[in-house]
Chain A
């Protein structure tokens, strides 16, 4: 037993100790209160969002892509409904049995069955739908509809797929659509303020984005905005109820400047030969015809093509996927001559009365190398106009010989050579406008005077795409003033590129047009046989691209035994003169004669555009 004194000190000790423990716990308690305050007051917004994200799931509603029209309101690309057979896995107990029953009504492929089996349990757990089969035929639909009372958990729903109504005509210009890859999709979601990770994208099957052509260039415009349904979910991800629906915004329609009729004519004229046709409305630079040949069906690419068919297209020697109109590089050959002539006038090297004597060849004074014309014996005494009409090489060899290469390059770039001339073409090539530093860097050779001479007749390193040639033609037609090209109607606000010159006046342009009219109309014109194909006046310049340099016609006859070594046929043309509305360029690979092979195609396209 303890005595009284001890009891007092014991009591005191107990008091102190209990208070110590209480103080310790009071501290802990305050810390807890502080923590709770941080959670509930300071970080409230963060946790409120976290709680909201926990309990909601968003399901996207696909917008419909815009329709693409030609300039006359013809639908070129449309959305067609695809009817899909869809099941609700969470309500189906035995998938195998269910598939067998369905299979008796609508045949399912092994791929479709396997897809269903692989995804069944995960989708069932989350209470989401599963697409069994896409693109049901009318027959399949009606067979299912009459028996659907047997399948309360299966239904047919309408989804849209993309269809180009003229799949071969517009394969390169309009391009095709396809399923987006993940980075593309992420970017689209980001642009539309959607959080990729929160979104159950698998729900919106078959979303498409433009992969090539205008479908790609104007994807933002055509695409529209996703709508979404917001569902409340529990911790297991099960959908409980719909909280909110935000409607989708359908994509805007795209009104192009393309012209269905002229496109069709160009397609028929080329008849699957390798080549390209580009026609534009001169006043605003609107592309009306844009064909690369041979073509392929964009619908097959977009809506499923077998690997075998795809490979055969890919490995085809004619390269149908290659967009020759915007990416094919061709020497302009003789079509360059009007621009070279203008260079002579501009720099006062020559005037319209200046003549030379053309013996059929030009000898480079530096090394005595001979540059031949196409006509044995030459064109005799000849001025600029006749040199264009008859396509005298000697005249332009000697003119180019007198040029400073830097000046000539600057001059040619005004006509679109080496430049991007189209604002909405898909991956356009700028061709090649060679200069001494390019040659040094690429070929490790210095610039020879002979290179400049070759430039005078559009041979050598210079190359241009058909769309650049069309730009060049339009620029000549519109007397040095032009909009950049575009496929879309409203480009009136675009700045025009203007050929700044000191010495070329209206009279010079008229004379140049006269010369180019002469190419067809003059008895000596190189494209004289086009005269009978039309009943109005057209200015033109044809060209023949030598792929293999030959000394004599006999040599060429041996060469042309191999089709791939034959000359390319080129023509640029515009009309009707004197007030040209349309310009056209045609390239036919290994077509040999610009005037007689490429020419009729150009005339046919112009006839259609001018309704003559």
Chain B
């Protein structure tokens, strides 16, 4: 449902469903974060500023016509790459990883930006290609994706690089990658898994995967996080322990409560009922995106909405799967809920672009 507001003779592009559900999610996030940060008002205020700024950014980004994104996608993409390279050169180092650029007033994580600009660029590159996508175009696309993924992976940032890999592959797949190619390459991928395991994963990354397979093997070492997360979630039961009453979160048993494991805090304090309500909001947003993608005005918009919404969906699912122990701990925030700067803003940007694509009518054709 595109909505046009007449505001001093200027059209305002807006999707009420997405806008309100994302605002709701952001407010819920602030409530949860306040508890997860042990009632730290500084964290709350900082996050509130991010949310307000993010909502404003989302609104502003939904105003330009999709053609603006299509024609400028290359510029955005190149700027993102420059930022990534700069990060590798002069980035801030923390915990053995160079992921941030220091801009004085704020720090920026460029990998979070390229997570958006890469799929938009690929959508713009592929939207007018014949079906099925030719082998040449497939390889060009794959090459671009792999270069970007590797630039992020060497920071190192496995989690984000995987999301970037997915974001690129989603576009390629949605744009019409041939099934033959998919069948061939996935066989090749499975066969090369042992090689990847031995050559591309850092020891701590391997450890995380092994821990997933048997967290009880070392509950106080690498299995600690996931064990404590499960205890937090499980002990929440049906109704939860009550807001700010989660002992796992408030007595420091749970790690990274403000970021990766914020869902565990929610599950502990609000129980299964709270979890279901939160998931309903996510579900609503995703179904709305599905609807918008299927009804988009052209192929570029379709691909972009589809790709960006799948990134959102993947991030949510990776975070959720991680905290209940379905997949290894990779360091992935829960969108709109976890504390964060660049990651949080990237999703406001993504939804700003989605709303733009959804709310602008086709001008020339029809």
Partners in one complex: yes
Tell me which residues from 17 to 58 in chain A have a Cβ below 8 Å from any Cβ of chain B: 17-18, 21-22, 25, 28-29, 31-33, 35-37, 39-41, 43-44, 46-48, 50-52, 54-55
Contact in complex: B131, A36 (CB < 8 Å):
no
Asked whether A40 lies within 8 Å of B293 as measured between CB atoms, the reply is no
Report whether A25 and B306 are in contact in the complex, using a CB–CB cutoff of 8 Å.
Answer: no
**Chain A residues near B60 (CB-CB < 8 A):** none
Residues of B within 8 A of A48 (CB): 234-235, 237
Please state if A33 and B235 are interface contacts (CB–CB under 8 Å).
no
- How many residues in A have their beta carbons less than 8 Å from beta carbons of B? 42
Q: Which of B131, B231, B238, B279 contacts A6 (CB 8 A)?
A: B131
Whether A184 sits at the interface, judged by CB under 8 Å, is no
Residues 154-177 (chain B) with a chain A CB within 8 angstroms: 170, 173-176
- B contact set with A: CB distance below 8 Å: 128-131, 170, 173-176, 228, 230-238, 247-248, 251-253, 267-268, 271-272, 275, 279, 286, 290, 293-294, 299, 302-303, 306, 310, 313-314, 317, 320-321, 324-326
Tell me whether A36 and B174 are in contact in the complex, defined as CB-CB below 8 angstroms, given that A31-B326, A44-B237 are known contacts. no
> Are the CB atoms of B253 and A40 closer together than 8 Å?
no
The reply to whether the CB of A9 lies closer than 8 angstroms to some CB of chain B is yes
Most buried by B among A10, A14, A44, A46: A14
- In the bound complex, residues from chain B placing their C-beta under 8 Å from that of A7 are 299
Q: Give Cα A9 to B321, complex, Å.
A: 35
Given contacts A17-B173, A39-B324, contact A50 B231 (CB under 8 A): yes
The B interface, classified by DSSP as helix, strand, loop or mixed, is: helix
A558 at the interface (CB under 8 A from B): no
Roughly how many angstroms separate A240 CA and B324 CA in the complex, as a whole number? 29
Contacts of A50 in B (CB 8 A): 231, 234-235
A103 at the interface (CB under 8 A from B): no
* A235 CB within 8 Å of chain B: yes
Asked if B290 contacts A40 (CB within 8 A), the reply is no
Check: A157 CB closer than 8 A to any chain B CB.
no
8 A-B pairs with CB atoms under 8 Å apart are A10-B299, A14-B175, A32-B320, A32-B321, A40-B271, A41-B272, A43-B234, A55-B251
Chain A residues with Cβ under 8 A from B314's Cβ?
Answer: 25
B228: chain A residues at CB < 8 Å are 54
CB distance from B14 to the nearest CB of A (A): 24
Minimum Cβ distance to chain A for residue B290 (Å)? 6
Given A25-B317, A41-B272: A17 touches B230 (CB 8 Å cut-off): no
What does DSSP make chain A's interface, helix, strand, loop or mixed?
Answer: helix
Residues of A within 8 A of B (CB): 1-2, 6-7, 9-11, 13-15, 17-18, 21-22, 25, 28-29, 31-33, 35-37, 39-41, 43-44, 46-48, 50-52, 54-55, 232-236, 240
CA distance A29 to B285 in the complex (A): 14
Q: Which residues of B contact A21 (CB under 8 A)?
A: 170, 173-174, 310
Q: Which residues of A contact B267 (CB under 8 A)?
A: 36, 39-40
A1 to B267 CA separation, bound complex (whole angstroms): 50
Contact residues in B for A14 (Cβ distance below 8 Å): 174-176, 299, 302-303, 306
Quick one: given A36-B275, A235-B253, are A13 and B131 in contact (CB under 8 Å)?
yes
